[in-house]
Structure 1
Amino acid sequence: MEFVSDGIERLTGYPAAAFMARPGLSYANIIVPEDRHGVERGIAAAIQDGGEFQLTYRIRCANGDLKWVCEQGSAVPHGVSHVLEGLLFDFTRVRNADMLVREQASYLQRARDAIVAMDMNSRISYWNSGAERLYGWSATEARGKKFSELLCENLPAYHAAYETTLATGEWSGELSHMRRDGACIETDTRWTLLGADATLGAQQKILVISTDISERKHNEAKIYRLAFFDALTDLPNRASLLDHLRRALLGSARTRKCGALMFCDLDKFKYLNDSQGHAAGDMLLQAVARRLEHCVREADMVARLGGDEFVILIQPVEDTREGAAAQAETVAAKVVAAMAAPFQLAEMMYSVSVSVGVATMCGTVDTVESTLRQADAAMYQAKACGRNTYRFHDPAIQAAWSARAELENGMRRALRDSEFVLHYQPQLDRSSRVIGAEALLRWRLPDGRLLYPAEFIHAAEESGMIIEIGRWVLRTACTELARWQRFPDTAGLTLSVNVSAGQFTEPDFVPMLAEIFEQTGVQPSSLKLELTESLVVSDFTQTALTMGMLKQRGISFSLDDFGTGYSSLAYLRKLPLDQLKIDQSFMRDVLTDQNDASIVRSIIALGDSLGLQVIAEGVETPGQRQFLSDAGCFMYQGFLYQHAISAEHFTAYARNVH
């Protein structure tokens, strides 16, 4: 060496003089033998090119320690040879730190988990090999992309995790991520907030470590379905039903709401299994399961107990057992009707019926065991009653259901056998002259007993039979009105007919009336339809439209029971009404109750101001009639004059009262 500084001793442990002596210590000799060849090649290349060099290698120090050295220099021409000039410095700390970083980086790369770092704008800055394997994108493709856009199918869940990480420093949970191939994978994920480091120039980031748990979730779901679902029909099984029933009763006890449980047993299912084999039986059970699912609301549950037994759980949302029974009855009727259509089993058509037992339930008094027992008992009652029907366990509800079913059957018979009749109550003017009548429906039973509308109309409306009954009433009334119009002494009479809301809102109501007019030959100008306030309120626009079309045919309209519902001046102003009818409930105490008297006067004054006729029903005494006359009402209907009477007696009455 030509020159070496004193710093060589701090680096190697050898004094500078040791390298300057002749013969002295050769610097090349303290270079680790494994690194010498590389150093020689590097220097030789620098001499050949006449350029600079930078080498890192290990040396053995005077105390035996190994150090990493970084040598930087250049080959300077000196005569026919070259002189090497440069400097040496201890590179050990930097080298060790670099090795540590490389080692740690290799750990991250070898990790099976997906490890991703993203900045606070969701931009990905680190993406390990585990992420490449899990998601399908290479690190080059992923870096710079937004984590939320690249992977997250459920953005609300991503934002929730993000906000929690910012607030608490970390978040852990399960997230669904999207792979490059579009598949969705379930991950168990931990997010950690990494603080900024000004000294290193590192910005705040979020470290995301995700483990693929798709297989575990799949296995869990498989185990769950095996435990809680029927393998044949894919319906919830007994265990699932018991759990849901227990929860429903707990909720019912808390909310005081009522629900129902229904046992459905296929009639003569064993015959199919014995005659056609279990494969046909299995096909039938699967088809039955699908039909049952279409009979219930989304919140309700269909389960299979086993064999041919199915159960329907009606969630407790009704305030009373009666309300729950009504809802259950609707479902039970659907179930019985749904089973009526034959089932296609491969090449065979097969018909089956079902017996349904219904038990209402309330968590304050019922248990899982008692509810199951009651529904099962009710189902056996249904079988005992001839199958293909349903029965309630509750004796009171069963009695009410039976009575209503009997009533509905009776109304069908009444229509078929002409048991319905119309009676006519006269309507008179101030001179006690008959000006018309109201047609009132009566039901004459085979035993001669007469039923009034209050005893059956509600059931008719609930069952939908009011449409057919109302059609019969209109046809019969128009036939009678046409008969009046053929005789001079009754030709000027009007006839009022009550029309239910369900009938009036039927799409074919106007064409149906037109057909009746044509068949009976009646002049519609003498027909008056009485509508209720509830009809007007429920669908004002459609009601007004229908009234307008009928008004063009000459029909007039009366608002029945005015003052008892939701009357509004806006309705009275906009509807083509001709008459207001004062309800008999106001007339009953009009002479003794100041409030009723005020209401009646107000109705009369309102009708007068709007140019509408006002008629009072329920006029029973001369005092009531005098009150109405003094208040300005001059049309009356009630027992003071006549009860509702048959068509024959009404005609005689109208001709005799002038």
Structure 2
Amino acid sequence: MSFCHPLDPTPGQADSDPLLRNASDGIHILDRNGNVIEASDSFCRMLGYSREEVIGMNVLQWEAHFRDRQEIIQVITDQLSTDSRSEFQTKHRRKDGSVFDVEVSGCPVRLGGDLVLFNSSRDITERLRVQREMELMQFITDHLAEGVSISDERGRLVYVNKAFVESLGYARDAVLSMRIGDFDPNYREESWPRHWEDLKRNGSLTFETTHRTRSGETIPVEIAANYIRYGGQEYNCAYVRYIAARKTMEQEVRIAATAFESQVGMLITDENANILRVNGAFTRITGYSAAEVIGRNPRILHSGRQSPDFYKALWQGVEDSGYWSGELWNRRKNGELFAEHLTITAVKDGDGRVTNYVGSLSDITPTKKTEEEIQRLVLYDPLTNLPNRRMLMDRLQVALAAAARTGRAGALLFIDLDNFKIVNDTRGHAVGDWLLQQVGNRLASEVREDDTVARLGGDEFIVMLQNLAVTQADASERAAAVAEKIIRSLAVPFVSAESRFLCTPSIGVTLFQDGRAPPEELLKQADIAMYEAKKSGRNTLKFYDRKVQEAITARVTLEAELRRAIEANEFALHYQVKVDRRGQPVGAEALIRWCHPARGIVPPAQFIPLLEETGLIIPAGLWILDTACRQVKRWEERDETRDLVLAINVSAKQFHQPDFVDQVRKVVARHAIDPQRLELEITESVLLDDTEAVIAAMRALRQYGVRLALDDFGTGYSSLNYLRKLPLNVMKIDQSFVQELGPDTSEGAIVQTIIAMAKILDLVVVAEGVETRSQKQYLDDWGCARYQGYLFGRPMPIEQFEASLPGRSLAAT
């Protein structure tokens, strides 16, 4: 406390001032010579004098730091000459001669016209003692290898030692601004109150957690937390042990224990290998109690199955590296042999001399006994207990060799259950698993003992038939007979406690005889035949046909080449002109062509269906859209072509993409074209799924300005009800109607109806496939507005297309 009276008291006022007399700190008023003219009771008690003795005393009578009167006078003069409060530490001497530390705070005031010094002395003996203890504690804890931290009840750090700071990698000030949750990833704010209460109740807690360092690394630690009260406050004093090395060792032990799945016996011997101590696991494993083996050599366990050379090599390994680990056979007290995993470690003193050996032994007899079961798990399907794919392939390899040697053919039956997925999805996997087990049992009951029934996975089974016949014809007949028997067997309902199930199979059959086809190829052939059975209506069998495989191989090759073509930009657009009734170009349709590096131009019919099937139509369609918009931009830059409309085909799969409308907008915006110069042609198949969503997307495109055309009208599922709802610009008459036009043909009647209906709906009609003048004339007479077909121009590259337009060549540069 510092004391400076705000008024200029008159003589005698200080004497009666209760604030002065009752102040908690040692208040004393000194004149210029250092004599006491007034003092508080607390100051008198502090020095051990009575008030009467203190009044009039000179500061030198209690000051233990300043010995010289002149030095004291100078200090007082300096204090009186300043307008601010001054503070310093010194020592006071009590009446009994004892010296104590004080902190003096003073300021000048006027008293009765005289300038005097109001001083306040505070005993800081305890504070300095605590400070020295803290410094000593900091010094000691900073030399500990363990981390030390003190946190308050809210988890805020108030003290840390050097090891703790260095472990986190931050500066000490940064650490002291943290809470526990800032570096302990396992800290949970909601569980901290319960943790704090547990700590208060128990006094201490020991647990493991991790700390996250500044670099982001997590290090394992063991925390010994202690509840302490100090200065009326509650704290958690935590000792942090860094246990990364221990954790690594523990992990290795856990891995070993898990691998062996057994308890570990321990024995400790002296340097002569005489047993000093064993644990309970040793007794359980060997049958010997501690009393029976202490003082004896572990050779009492020898089974006689290891030679003397084995033990010589064992001990040589311990001598060379201090460690040996391996398997051996030992004998229990009751004479029973058991397999053991033994680890021997030499314990050495500071001079490198062996003082003890520590042995850890595990009974791995159960593990040895389960090797057969493990082998079974490797080779058998755990659900049905049938051979799995691995065992099947092994047996098939043997069967191929036997067939090549004897000349007697065998067969593979690839069995896939029809509609099994429905059972799994509707009745649950437990029922599905039960059904697979029942199917496996029936299949096994329908074949000979030498044949093999295997489960590949899911609902796929394989039956391998051996030694069927010498001729392929007889072998085929017998294989078919087995397959038919399996179909009849599986046709019998499967009855459980709750339900009955019908389960039909599709079976693919392939024969083997000369051993030339490898097992994987035979499996592939049977798989292909099985899919042919599914295509044929299911619940039937099909033999492998090489032509089917060739078609599948060609399709796979074509798909791979298509994927490469997209990446290598092998596609191009060809353009077919659209004209008005006067034969003047009004636009074009952009048609994709594949420029194969080896086969040249690939007809669309050969690759577009595969694009659809594989989903590659999505990236291909986006490429078409982008390329078409780029071409429209070029046309807009020329007077001769700025009014042309370019149409592209959009597949149903592409149109149903959730972001298709956004894709169109982005591409149009990127090329900065007039959206009315782009026309999207869709077929009626687009409307088969989620019609309302399709119409909404079409309206969004139409609102944006993109033109919409209904392609191949009349060939799909046209409905006047939905047709009137579609925001179309154009209706295209399919070429199949145009090719058969005549005055009295049904096609003519249909075309006239389409044109009349389009006029009612205010749609532009485009006739596709116009190849003759007579076709054009009929269409003219019936009011058709636009034409497209070989009569006006074939699809052609952009250079040829622009050169064919009226006027000069406009080939793109």
TM-score by length of 1: 0.46
> Which one scores higher on RCO, CA 8 angstroms, separation ≥ 6?
1
Question: Between Structure 1 and Structure 2, whose CA radius of gyration is higher?
Answer: 2
TM-score by length of 2: 0.38
